[in-house]
Amino acid sequence: MTEANQAMTVDLSGKVALVTGASQGLGQAMALRLGTAGAKVACVARNAEKLAAVVDQIGQAGGEAAAFPCDVSDSESVKKVVDDVTEKWERLDVLVNNAGITRDTLIPRMGDDDWDDVMNTNLRGAFLFTRAATMPMMQQRFGRIINISSVSGAVIGNPGQANYSASKAGLVGLTKTVARELGKRKITVNAITPGIIASEMTEAVGEEVMKEFKKRIPANRLGQAEEVADLVLFLASDAAAYINGTAIAVDGGMTC
């Protein structure tokens, strides 16, 4: 068993979690971790077919989940999803703002749409879901909001990603401010800043580029999606009740 496969144990029975960008990658891993920990999971993304596969995977693992296809940048759609989730399960305890896209190019060639598309999905989407989730969480006097940022923007810059880095830096600012606003209501708001995580994208860059990636990481390996998901699981738990308004790196020491 590798380090990345040693899943932590948390009991989220009776809790309801909502994960955006849940159809693949990090979001899929997070939704599965939360579901197998006992939470009912609302899986949100644009692709209904991929969402259905994730919901089925959670069900096969003994959890309960439902798919809510949604454009996270559309205010009315976001409100409807939150309303539908709270109607279905009567509460909302955990929100994971994970949905994100890239439109990489150097700043002289970056078009208006390249900027707007990334900001609307990565930052506006997190704002819309946070705003919509605030009411049920305040009524419960309990909530966990977890924003998936990135070391790119939150800690360091990355050439060709001015839009992505700005959106991820914005998520940290959103995290810190909303944490101050909601802390008295027993709602915590934290961010996670993953480094280079193994994915289909990293596999496609080739062996030589991968070697260069690893040289930048003291751990000498890429992170696994499950390692980020385990931190989400911890921050969603009662054990993390006094952690609020912070950004935690999961990067193997890349930014130390």
Contact 88, 66 (CB under 8 A): yes
What's the CA gap between 131 and 240, in Å, rounded? 22
Directed axis angle between helix 225-236 and helix 25-36, to 10°? 50
Q: Which two tokens stand for residue 106?
A: 């150097």
Tell me the residue ranges of DSSP E strands in the chain: 16-20, 40-45, 64-69, 94-97, 143-148, 187-194, 247-250
What's the CA gap between 112 and 110, in Å, rounded? 7
What's the CA gap between 134 and 184, in Å, rounded? 13
What's the CA gap between 254 and 155, in Å, rounded? 10
Catalytic residues: 164
What is the full DSSP assignment across 114-133? HHHHHHIIIIIHHHHHHHHH
